[in-house]
Amino acid sequence: MSSVITRVKQKQIAQTIAKGKRLDDRGLTDYREMKIEQGIIERAEGSARILLGKTEVLVGIKIEIGEPFSDTPNEGVLTVNAELVPLASPTFEPGPPDENSIELARIVDRGIRESKTIDTEKLVIEPGKKVFVVFVDVYVLNHDGNLIDASALAAVAALLNTKMSNYEIKDDEVKIKPGYTQLPVKKHPITVTFAKISDKLVIDPWLEEEQVMDARISMAIDDDGNICAIQKGGSGYFTEKEVLEVAKMAREKAAEIRKKLKW
């Protein structure tokens, strides 16, 4: 019986969007209500929580001392992980990261990395030997669609809230000193996601819209309006005209959302 109800609901969603409307009364290019909280995890170097409609994502930042990669000896290290907490959705299962959490982490990572969000050269302690490693841990607490935008925004908000310990080099060892320094953040990328449903482009798809979408496209936009990362999902396709339309709207929405960040 539930599968019949699901098919009926899916048909209703598709038919409503085909008419330029949505079941939650939003316009096709409207985001759900968005709330950003920064600095909510006391023991983390930085943190943020995003509420996007009923979707809830928490990001914590930890900074440790480690070694640089051999091909980038004069840069610090960024690593992003995503955990789909089982309580967040009946479809999430405990255990090692699955393809969905790996994809989510990679999209968040790419937006930060390709936009040069962090001045990684300022994370170097001793070139080729010791650098600061920035760990970005994404936790999905409630899944009601568009985890990509919520997670990417939470990550940037958390990085803006991140402080690094002061230090000095003494006897070839790193000594932590009192006080903190703000993480060197240069850019503020915003990721904007569209779903294609019934040949219509829909921004910020909620869960039931994601279940009927033909394809999904996400664009990370930096402060200058440049597209620094693109990720396509789903089995459907986007025409060249649709991609250009998405890019235009993504730039506009990114500029609006960026104003909500505090730095």
pLDDT by residue (tens digit) across 190-236? Answer: 999 999 998 999 999 999 999 999 999 999 999 999 999 999 999 99
Residue ranges and CATH numbers for the domains of the chain are 29-258 (3.30.230.70)
Q: Which of 112, 111, 91 is nearest to 101 (CA)?
A: 91
Banded pLDDT at 4 (limits 50, 70, 90):
very low
pLDDT of residue 170: 86
Banded pLDDT at 125 (limits 50, 70, 90):
very high
Q: Please state which of the ranges 2-16, 23-37, 126-140 shows the lowest mean pLDDT.
A: 2-16
Give alpha helix (H) positions in 88-176: 99-114, 147-160
Q: Please state which of the ranges 38-52, 67-81, 165-179, 224-238 shows the lowest mean pLDDT.
A: 165-179
Q: Which of 151, 119, 132, 196 is nearest to 48 (CA)?
A: 151
Q: Report DSSP state, residue 75.
A: S
Give the tens place of pLDDT for each residue, 63-98.
999 999 999 999 999 999 999 999 999 999 999 999
Give the tens place of pLDDT for each residue, 126-137.
999 999 999 999
